[in-house]
A and B are shown apart, each in its own frame.
Chain A
Amino acid sequence: MNKKQLVILLLAGLWMYPSVAQEGRFKALFLVKFSEYIEWPSGNSDLTIGVVGNTDVFDELKRFTAQKANLSVINIQSASDSPKCDIIYVPGVKLKLIGELVSNIGSKSTLLVSDDGNQVKKGADIGFFVDGNKLRFILSKENIESKKMVPSSKLLALGKTI
């Protein structure tokens, strides 16, 4: 193996390895971006992201929100905590709470983001899915707008809509 091949391999490896545990980081980043690409009726100046259960997404969001004046993150354990949040992220292990959350949120302007794209059909506003090696999201314009939030055209263009 020549030096160039080695360098490429190492760089490729270096790129690959630290990324393997980084799914949580990417999801956290997406959540931050959702807060920027959706308009809340009361404005986006003070938004709270609630993360159900303890996941690495919560840890990553803590770091990111420390640098975003308009964003804060809290850890919630049950659907009854939904009034405290503008965005709620439901990880895969907590998907059974989706129905309760949808019911608790009702028409309030709380964006419900699920780890599973299939949950969008069950009332979530946005759901993640993996396409190839890339993280994607599916969203329901109807759900979001019914709660008086306005998704940007860019968000609608980049996400898969139902």
Chain B
Amino acid sequence: MNFTTRLLLACVLIWGVTSSSQAQDGSDILEMSLEDLMSMEITSISKKAEKLQNASSSMYVLTSEDITRSGATTLHEVLRNVPGYWGVQDEYSSVYSSIRNSPTENGSTGTVLYLLDGTPIQDLMGSTFSFVNFDIPMDEIDRIEIIRGSGGTVYGANSATGVVNIFTKNPENYDGINLRTEAAAPGYTATSIRAGGTISHRLSVSGYGKFRYFSGFESMAGVDEDGNRTVDNSRFDKNYDKSNVFSAGLKLNHNLNDNSKVSGRFHYNGLQKYAYTNYYDRNFAFTGDDVLVENKVKSNRLVGNIRYDYTFGDSHDIFFRASTNIENDFIKAGGGYQVSNAIYDFEIQDNISIGTRYDLSLGANFRLVNFDIHDINNAEVINYIEPDSRESIKGVFVQDKIKFFGDRLNIILGIKSENYSLVNSNYYLSPMAKLAFIPNDNLTIWGGYNQSFTTPGFNNTNIDFFLFQTPGIEAWTAAAQQGVSAQVFTQAYDAAIAAGADDATATAIANTEVSNFLASPTGQQTVAATAQSLSQENPNVAVKNGSATVPTRFQTVEFGFRTGLKNFVSLESNFFYTNISDGVRESQDPIHLDEESITQPGRFASYYLYGNYAEGTSIGAENMIRIQPVQGISLELTHSWLQTTWRWQTNEDFDVNDSNVVSDKDITPDVPMIPENVFRFKGQFDLPRNFNFTLGLIHASEFRTQANYVTDKERYENIAIGESNTKIAPNSSRTIVNLRLEKKMINDKLTLYAFGNDITNRGIIADTNNIYNVTLSKIGAMYGFGINFRMK
């Protein structure tokens, strides 16, 4: 079929869709042959210390040695060794992650609380953690304690399914002066200096500085997933995977007297990189082209806290902490915009032991939350009701650990009440009841129930995001005139030819027919009606929040045991069942049609709503066996299983029983966002001559990555309308292999090491979040070496 025939067939299709005056119903199309049909182009749519052994939680601790020997160059690479954690990179340091919760769609779940030296470091836009805007020397970390499951009474908001608590090295116990530099292919180098120690019996201080450079795994500008060139002159002429990150820290402890001390922890990091963003302007319907924006990103983060501890004696202590997390970050959604958000957190906690039976903790916190969204690249596309506003989180808790039989049986009861002014004026109660039975030093059996909440982020309460912008009526009229003209021309031309006219005569007749028809009242009405029909059938499509978004509730029952068999084998198993209600997601289709924009008076759109529309359950387990057959060899095999199912929840915004609104009540993704099964093996081997070797293996079952990509336009498809596309990054399982060999010399002062991370990865597109990304990034293997020199 030649171009003209295809064009005419297209006009027939358009005519059938758009022309009310002719009440076409597709009979012409039905006459098309299967061959003709196959030649038509289409577009597809789409916080007091506790023995770990006795803890009544599913906890996993990464020690400083674990972290160093992992070969990890980023926090994500460290955490991916933790059973129950899963993170997906969309570039080297940009990650969305989860613990015990697989969401209905791409993106962090907002249910895992990240803390750095006790300061919450959440991104306030979505209650998530921004990995990309974070760096710290990996050897500065003393340990990371990961709670799988709710942080419960003490941690509160946004710790519904996990807590990642990062503790950096204490200046009092610092490891001297260390100079470290490492490099890897492709294009990675990091250099850090750390120093610290006791200055006097009252004062200890430490500090660090680090620079990290990364130039990207492999540019995908102009090429497809397999590296084949698809676009001759790619519009991406900057290396969007290249980044420079600077970080610095200062810590101090000052013992005021035997009973009290003041400590301070300050971390700063700055990021420089290019980021491409895009948006769809009003011409998109005609041109199919997005508007590309090249952004020079300068993000930074300051995390700091000052803490005052006072000890009344062995059985009573109290602390007060003031902390802050100030983030200046660039968000890539909707063309991109800058956020300068901050939290200022004030908390007090009193721990008192009453006799030998009761350990009582009381606490309160007041958190000021500042949102400042500015430098929006296109406010017609994305905006917020109150882009510069101040909110607060207020919370109080009480928790009692009741001990029986000399700590062989303990029961923890607690409750926290919290209010987040961004959401509403209600106080949400998070009760907790846990029990740990420790019959002997080698066995702990524990279980419990808790309720926890995840507060919606700013994106869940304030956003007005135009996914598709309709052209103005003038543009539709011009388009309608062209379409009508073509149709009239074809009919007149065919009639003339049938009547015996030659091509020139038929063309002249057809042109005259077109002029006459367009000049006639019928023609003008047809054009106007067609334009009106096009405009009405293709309205602005936008997304905003539903009527009243409330925190998502998680009710979890969990139990587990940990045991040591002999002295060299330990086993641990944890099981959980979580009921989730008021989960936040968008409606299946636009719900509010032809509704005025909440940020742009006079503009109307068909609105997808974003609210408490999902409920579900998560069930899973974490199992671990750790063997130390001989001194110097440690083997750890773990398995984590997670299955989250989702369905539409009855809500005030739409009827979930209306099949016209909800096609299927089950909204569990066919392929989970977080893999159901992840097996991990870690082997640490101390070898002769001061060598040591570490092997890490991770195998994850299939998880979702697939997306629709418009190859020739070098962008993801427009999610509101769907377009001609190519499926990329097919869903698959994933295997990660990490190796590291280390040699210590000169009384351990000099350490040389070589590492290979993710060595079986030949280059994959790991994540395809089309809200935040324009084009593709690959991640792959990294091979490197490093040197650490401890001067003192």
Which chain B residues in 13-40 approach chain A with CB under 8 Å?
Answer: 13-14, 17-18, 25-27, 29-30, 32, 34-35, 37-40
Can you list the 7 inter-chain pairs with the closest CB atoms, starting with the nearest? A13-B286, A133-B724, A133-B41, A15-B10, A54-B663, A17-B285, A20-B721
- Nearest-Cβ distance from residue B527 to partner chain A, whole angstroms: 13
CB-defined contacts of B483 to chain A, threshold 8 Å: 11, 14
Q: Are A134 and B286 in contact (CB under 8 A)?
A: no
Interfacial residues, chain B to chain A (CB-CB below 8 A) = 7, 10-11, 13-14, 17-18, 25-27, 29-30, 32, 34-35, 37-45, 285-288, 478-479, 482-483, 486, 534, 538, 659-660, 663-664, 670, 721-727
Q: Are B40 and A64 in contact (CB under 8 A)?
A: no
Q: Are B32 and A18 in contact (CB under 8 A)?
A: no
CB-defined contacts of B37 to chain A, threshold 8 Å: 26, 29-30, 33, 135
A13-48 vs B, CB cutoff 8 Å, 1 = contact: the mask equals 111111111111110011011000100000000000
Considering only CB atoms, which chain A residue lies closest to B659 in the complex? A54
Set B32, B41, B286, B486: member contacting A19, Cβ < 8 A: B41
- Nearest-Cβ distance from residue B430 to partner chain A, whole angstroms: 35
- Nearest-Cβ distance from residue A52 to partner chain B, whole angstroms: 9
Q: Are A135 and B478 in contact (CB under 8 A)?
A: no
Q: Are A21 and B45 in contact (CB under 8 A)?
A: yes
Q: Are A11 and B482 in contact (CB under 8 A)?
A: yes
Q: Are B40 and A63 in contact (CB under 8 A)?
A: no
CB-defined contacts of A150 to chain B, threshold 8 Å: none
Known contacts A20-B722, A20-B723: A37-B34 contact under CB 8 Å: yes
Known contacts A19-B41, A93-B663: A64-B482 contact under CB 8 Å: no
Set B14, B29, B659: member contacting A15, Cβ < 8 A: B14
- Nearest-Cβ distance from residue A47 to partner chain B, whole angstroms: 15
CB-defined contacts of A30 to chain B, threshold 8 Å: 34, 37
Q: Are A10 and B38 in contact (CB under 8 A)?
A: no
The distance in angstroms between the C-alpha atoms of A103 and B39, with both chains bound, is 34
The distance in angstroms between the C-alpha atoms of A30 and B364, with both chains bound, is 64
Considering only CB atoms, which chain B residue lies closest to A17 in the complex? B285
Please classify the interface of chain A as helix (H, G, I), strand (E, B), loop, or mixed, using the class held by over half of its residues. Answer: helix
Which chain A residues in 79-111 approach chain B with CB under 8 Å?
Answer: 92-96
Set A11, A94, A134: member contacting B39, Cβ < 8 A: A134
Known contacts A33-B34, A68-B30, A155-B34: A16-B288 contact under CB 8 Å: yes
A46-80 vs B, CB cutoff 8 Å, 1 = contact: the mask equals 00000001110000100110111000000000000
The distance in angstroms between the C-alpha atoms of A57 and B657, with both chains bound, is 21
CB-defined contacts of B34 to chain A, threshold 8 Å: 30, 33, 37, 154-155, 158
Excluding A18-B14, A130-B726, A133-B724, 14 further A-B contacts by CB distance (< 8 Å) are A14-B286, A14-B483, A18-B17, A18-B18, A19-B42, A19-B43, A20-B43, A20-B721, A66-B25, A92-B670, A95-B670, A134-B39, A134-B41, A136-B38
Q: Are B479 and A64 in contact (CB under 8 A)?
A: no
The distance in angstroms between the C-alpha atoms of A37 and B34, with both chains bound, is 9
Q: Are A63 and B38 in contact (CB under 8 A)?
A: no
CB-defined contacts of A20 to chain B, threshold 8 Å: 43, 721-723
Considering only CB atoms, which chain A residue lies closest to B32 in the complex? A29
Considering only CB atoms, which chain A residue lies closest to B478 in the complex? A10
Tell me whether A7 is interfacial, beta carbon within 8 Å.
yes
A-B contact pairs, 17 of them (CB 8 A): A9-B287, A10-B286, A11-B482, A14-B14, A14-B286, A16-B286, A19-B42, A25-B13, A25-B26, A26-B37, A29-B32, A29-B37, A63-B26, A64-B26, A132-B726, A133-B41, A133-B43
The distance in angstroms between the C-alpha atoms of A116 and B12, with both chains bound, is 28
CB-defined contacts of B13 to chain A, threshold 8 Å: 18-19, 22, 25
Interface range on chain A: under 10, 10 to 19, 20 to 34, or 35 or more? Answer: 35 or more
Q: Are B25 and A67 in contact (CB under 8 A)?
A: yes
- Nearest-Cβ distance from residue A28 to partner chain B, whole angstroms: 9
CB-defined contacts of B725 to chain A, threshold 8 Å: 130
Q: Are A11 and B30 in contact (CB under 8 A)?
A: no
Set A23, A68, A94: member contacting B45, Cβ < 8 A: A23
- Nearest-Cβ distance from residue A70 to partner chain B, whole angstroms: 12
Known contacts A33-B34, A53-B664: A7-B723 contact under CB 8 Å: no
Considering only CB atoms, which chain A residue lies closest to B667 in the complex? A93
CB-defined contacts of B482 to chain A, threshold 8 Å: 7, 10-11, 14
The distance in angstroms between the C-alpha atoms of A24 and B288, with both chains bound, is 20
Considering only CB atoms, which chain A residue lies closest to B669 in the complex? A93
The distance in angstroms between the C-alpha atoms of A13 and B260, with both chains bound, is 73
The distance in angstroms between the C-alpha atoms of A64 and B11, with both chains bound, is 18
Set A14, A29, A53: member contacting B30, Cβ < 8 A: A29
Q: Are A135 and B38 in contact (CB under 8 A)?
A: yes
- Nearest-Cβ distance from residue B728 to partner chain A, whole angstroms: 12
Q: Are A13 and B660 in contact (CB under 8 A)?
A: no
- Nearest-Cβ distance from residue A124 to partner chain B, whole angstroms: 15
The distance in angstroms between the C-alpha atoms of A93 and B55, with both chains bound, is 42
The distance in angstroms between the C-alpha atoms of A21 and B45, with both chains bound, is 7
CB-defined contacts of B285 to chain A, threshold 8 Å: 13, 17
Question: Of residues A19, A32, A154, which shows the largest number of chain B Cβ atoms within 10 Å of its Cβ?
Answer: A19
Set B42, B288, B722: member contacting A135, Cβ < 8 A: B42
- Nearest-Cβ distance from residue B611 to partner chain A, whole angstroms: 21
CB-defined contacts of A133 to chain B, threshold 8 Å: 41-43, 724
- Nearest-Cβ distance from residue B39 to partner chain A, whole angstroms: 7
Q: Are B42 and A130 in contact (CB under 8 A)?
A: yes
Known contacts A30-B37, A93-B664: A15-B42 contact under CB 8 Å: no
- Nearest-Cβ distance from residue B484 to partner chain A, whole angstroms: 10
CB-defined contacts of B538 to chain A, threshold 8 Å: 17-18
Known contacts A20-B723, A94-B664, A134-B38: A14-B45 contact under CB 8 Å: no
Q: Are B30 and A17 in contact (CB under 8 A)?
A: no
CB-defined contacts of A135 to chain B, threshold 8 Å: 37-38, 40, 42
The distance in angstroms between the C-alpha atoms of A16 and B32, with both chains bound, is 19
Set A9, A24, A134: member contacting B40, Cβ < 8 A: A134
Q: Are B722 and A29 in contact (CB under 8 A)?
A: no
Q: Are B29 and A67 in contact (CB under 8 A)?
A: no
CB-defined contacts of A14 to chain B, threshold 8 Å: 14, 286, 479, 482-483
Q: Are B40 and A26 in contact (CB under 8 A)?
A: yes
CB-defined contacts of A12 to chain B, threshold 8 Å: 286
Q: Are B660 and A54 in contact (CB under 8 A)?
A: yes
Set A11, A95, A130: member contacting B44, Cβ < 8 A: A130
- Nearest-Cβ distance from residue B514 to partner chain A, whole angstroms: 12
Q: Are A21 and B26 in contact (CB under 8 A)?
A: no
The distance in angstroms between the C-alpha atoms of A30 and B26, with both chains bound, is 13
CB-defined contacts of B663 to chain A, threshold 8 Å: 53-55, 93
CB-defined contacts of B45 to chain A, threshold 8 Å: 21, 23-24
- Nearest-Cβ distance from residue B215 to partner chain A, whole angstroms: 33
CB-defined contacts of B478 to chain A, threshold 8 Å: 10
- Nearest-Cβ distance from residue B87 to partner chain A, whole angstroms: 27
- Nearest-Cβ distance from residue A80 to partner chain B, whole angstroms: 16
Q: Are B7 and A11 in contact (CB under 8 A)?
A: yes
The distance in angstroms between the C-alpha atoms of A125 and B488, with both chains bound, is 42
CB-defined contacts of A96 to chain B, threshold 8 Å: 670
Q: Are B660 and A10 in contact (CB under 8 A)?
A: no
Q: Are A13 and B38 in contact (CB under 8 A)?
A: no
The distance in angstroms between the C-alpha atoms of A15 and B17, with both chains bound, is 11
The distance in angstroms between the C-alpha atoms of A71 and B663, with both chains bound, is 24
Q: Are B723 and A11 in contact (CB under 8 A)?
A: no
CB-defined contacts of A68 to chain B, threshold 8 Å: 30
A121-138 vs B, CB cutoff 8 Å, 1 = contact: the mask equals 000000000101111100
- Nearest-Cβ distance from residue B306 to partner chain A, whole angstroms: 53
- Nearest-Cβ distance from residue A26 to partner chain B, whole angstroms: 5
The distance in angstroms between the C-alpha atoms of A66 and B24, with both chains bound, is 13
The distance in angstroms between the C-alpha atoms of A67 and B725, with both chains bound, is 31
CB-defined contacts of A67 to chain B, threshold 8 Å: 25-27, 30
The distance in angstroms between the C-alpha atoms of A14 and B471, with both chains bound, is 12
The distance in angstroms between the C-alpha atoms of A135 and B659, with both chains bound, is 27
The distance in angstroms between the C-alpha atoms of A90 and B44, with both chains bound, is 16
Q: Are B14 and A23 in contact (CB under 8 A)?
A: no
The distance in angstroms between the C-alpha atoms of A94 and B664, with both chains bound, is 8
CB-defined contacts of A11 to chain B, threshold 8 Å: 7, 482-483, 486
The distance in angstroms between the C-alpha atoms of A25 and B18, with both chains bound, is 14
